[in-house]
Structure 1
Amino acid sequence: MAEVELRRISKKYDQQMVVHEVNAVIQPGEFFVLVGPSGCGKSTTLRMIAGLEEISTGELLIGGKQMNHVPPSGRNISMVFQNYALYPHLTVQENILFGLQVRKVDKREQAKRLNQTAEMLGLSQLLQRKPRELSGGQRQRVALGRAIVSQHPICLMDEPLSNLDAKLRGQMRTEIRQLQQELGITMIYVTHDQVEAMTMGDRMMVLRDGAVQQVGRPLDVYNHPANLFVAEFTGSPPMNTVHGLWRENNTQSGIEIGSGSDQMLLPLSRVEGVREGASVILGIRPEALQPLPVEQSVSDSTSSDIRRFTVTVQAVEILGSETIVEFELAGARWKAKWNGQWPCRKGETVGVGFDPRQVCLFDQQTGKNLISSAPELKRTDVFQTNAV
């Protein structure tokens, strides 16, 4: 297995820079995910690794050797494309073996690899069929089989599940991850679906407009987003955010949100580098907002870890295993995600509580997460609100 290293990799078309100095070290045997919205440069980055796009500036190293000008055939990699790229006139068997035949691998070795791969992917009964006779999931397995049978130590995947329905995507996510672990290959996987990135990757790189926003383990990225974009991109529903002003004096500090009768001050520990009157954004994930009995929803105590308040329900989505409840607070629309089925109705008053250790604070101009780089909030730091 070989390490893949990107050193300030950039791609420029004419005068437009589409990938900006991407740095990453992908360890042997790692499942590394490039994720971001459409047009962020993730597929272009993958194609530069594959040798299908020329690198404008920077260095690509595979196994410690520079690969900038090495053709795709010399990089010892396999690739699975978004559209499967199967030959319609060839059978499943011929599609899988095509690369080995081009490389003139011994026929006995071809047969051995074919049998192993077909059994692994459940294709043994489909080897004589043509692609038109297969379902979307079966075609995807054939594309995977062609990559696996090559036995290259590095496999690149460019949004391979985007053409499948939701149920099949879930099934294929599990199968691809299991295959990668069983084979021990290095996999670099491109997707715009943050659910795929969270559930499949050992690490993930979040891209936006060709620039790297954050690299880390999925849960680290989710729990400690580097900036507002990453916070809102990961998670479903996305993180609740509300604009406010930072207030600080000799006795307390916190964020002032809302206006008029909806205005409230939410005390927070002092954050280094944040000055009085600074424009900030408060963020809290929907699952951090927990349901509480209405009679317990208002509290003046500052010794509790949970801050309680009452809200009026604006909309409800009961999804079976969970319920999404929308409400207004400080003039902003918030969403809470609760496990189970909650028969709330629009206009109903409910109690909601949350732990201040689960909030994020972002700089309004740069989007940087101010709390992630500050000392961890203490358990005694709580919010006080006048919401009723």
Structure 2
Amino acid sequence: MAKVELQQVSKLYGQQQVVYDINAEIQDGEFYVLLGPSGCGKSTTLRMIAGLETISSGLVLISGQPMNHVPPSKRSISMVFQNYALYPHLTVEENILFGLQVRRIAKPECQRRLTKAVEMLGIGELLKRKPRQLSGGQRQRVALGRAIVSQHPICLMDEPLSNLDAQLRGQMRTELKKLQQDLGITMIYVTHDQVEAMTMGDRMLILKEGRVQQIGRPLDVYNRPENLFVAEFIGSPTINTASGVWERRGNQWGVRLKNGIQSLFLPVDQRNIAPNTPLVLGIRPEFLERYSPDNSVSDLQCFTVSVEETELLGSETLVGFNLAGQRWRAKWMGQWQFKVGDSLEIGFRFENILLFEQSTGKLITVNERTMMKEEKLCG
């Protein structure tokens, strides 16, 4: 069983704290992603799991055993670094087998593991080359081969695809996920790329300035971010937001956008929010819909905007406009050729909006079944 647990794990460099009280359980055979912007503490966390950084406080357990004072070589883990860490004077074969030779694994067993790894990675023709003779993708595969032959049940990866071009990154994402599933290993993967996290992870832990923001499955995090930081960090283009204030109308509480374009009244479960409390409304670009009389939808709440930019991406189009003093974007499938200054009527459904407290950034839980709105519909 290759389960990894972090209990109140923190890290200080002198007087500066960079990781705060992380609690997480990575299950056996799980692809677990540590995600966040540069400098958030994700690589430091990974290195504490590996034993390459000391733990200031808290506990790291692997398969139920405390690891705080266990050296890296005794933790039954392999690691793939951002720069691949290949020995330049050794051949591909020698690089892959180096760790096994240090552990004094018998030669027949080394060759058996090498053959299996080479077949999985398709690098048989590279065995006699030196790292300088390899492309970035080939070096990546060699580093993976070294991790495969170790047969450790846990593999740690620190932004292994960041040095590759976009097309190769997409290919390697697929290969890495399949490899992890085929080997049945527990993989802990550090990245700042939310596309990698969304497409590869079974679950993700999102960090900001060393503090955990949310843990969950990628789609759950995307659809139900726990705070505004997570909502804005996950998704491309980023979520559209507009500031508003909390108001009471009759027995209902609701948010009004500051410029008065729209009033939204959304009952909130068991919360007592003071009148005029500043809030933030959010809606993802793909949930904005274009209204036309030929395609009338009665439950859309609409507003008219002026096109400020259009990005044709082939299979989809991004349309930029201004709403409530913020730059918003709509994302639509297909090729829409709008001109700057074109007037569009755009709408959204109430079940697709998110509300956040402006002071804390926390998500406000909304009972979607009882949402109410003003009678100001499209058309």
TM-score, scaled to structure 2: 0.96
Task: Give the residue type in structure 1 aligned to 2:107.
Answer: K
Task: Give the residue type in structure 1 aligned to 2:27.
Answer: Q
Task: Give the residue type in structure 1 aligned to 2:264.
Answer: L
Task: Give the residue type in structure 1 aligned to 2:361.
Answer: G
- Aligned match for 1:356, one of 350, 357, 360: 350
Number of matched pairs: 378
Q: Matched residues in 2 for 1:318 and 1:243: separation?
A: 29
Match of 1:265 in 2: 263
Instruction: Indicate if the aligned counterparts of 1:264 and 1:330 stay in contact, CA closer than 8 A.
Output: no
Match of 1:36 in 2: 36
Match of 1:187 in 2: 187
Match of 1:381 in 2: 372
CA 1:199–1:346: 2 relative to 1, 3 Å: same
Q: Matched residues in 2 for 1:53 and 1:251: separation?
A: 56
The SS at the match of 1:144 is: helix
Shift of 1:384: 5.3
Match of 2:330 in 1: 336
Instruction: Indicate if the aligned counterparts of 1:248 and 1:275 stay in contact, CA closer than 8 A.
Output: no
Instruction: Indicate if the aligned counterparts of 1:255 and 1:268 stay in contact, CA closer than 8 A.
Output: yes
Shift of 1:23: 0.3
Match of 1:211 in 2: 211
Shift of 1:310: 2.5
Cα root mean square deviation, aligned: 1.8
Q: Matched residues in 2 for 1:383 and 1:94: separation?
A: 70
- 1:292 and 2:291 are equivalent in the alignment: yes
Shift of 1:268: 2.2
- Aligned match for 2:314, one of 320, 334, 338: 320
Gaps of 5+ in 1: none
Identity level (%) = 62
Farther-moved stretch of structure 1 (148-157 vs 344-353) = 344-353
TM-score, scaled to structure 1: 0.94
Shift of 1:210: 0.2
- 1:283 and 2:277 are equivalent in the alignment: no
Q: Matched residues in 1 for 2:225 and 2:267: separation?
A: 19
Q: Matched residues in 2 for 1:196 and 1:273: separation?
A: 39
CA 1:384–1:212: 2 relative to 1, 3 Å: farther
Match of 1:248 in 2: 248
Instruction: Indicate if the aligned counterparts of 1:11 and 1:56 stay in contact, CA closer than 8 A.
Output: yes
| Aligned positions of 1:1-388 closer than 5 A | 1-259=1-259, 263-271=261-269, 272-293=271-292, 304-371=298-365, 374=366, 376-378=367-369, 381-382=372-373
The SS at the match of 1:39 is: coil
Q: 1:321-380 CA distances to partner (integer Å, 9 max, x unpaired)?
A: 110001122332211010111111111112212111111100001000012xx4x31276
Task: Give the residue type in structure 1 aligned to 2:9.
Answer: I
CA 1:251–1:273: 2 relative to 1, 3 Å: closer
The SS at the match of 2:368 is: coil
The SS at the match of 1:309 is: strand
Instruction: Indicate if the aligned counterparts of 2:204 and 2:218 stay in contact, CA closer than 8 A.
Output: yes
Q: Matched residues in 1 for 2:19 and 2:375: separation?
A: 44
Q: Matched residues in 2 for 1:339 and 1:60: separation?
A: 46
Gaps of 5+ in 2: none
Shift of 1:311: 1.7
Q: Matched residues in 1 for 2:6 and 2:252: separation?
A: 46
Q: Matched residues in 2 for 1:379 and 1:347: separation?
A: 37
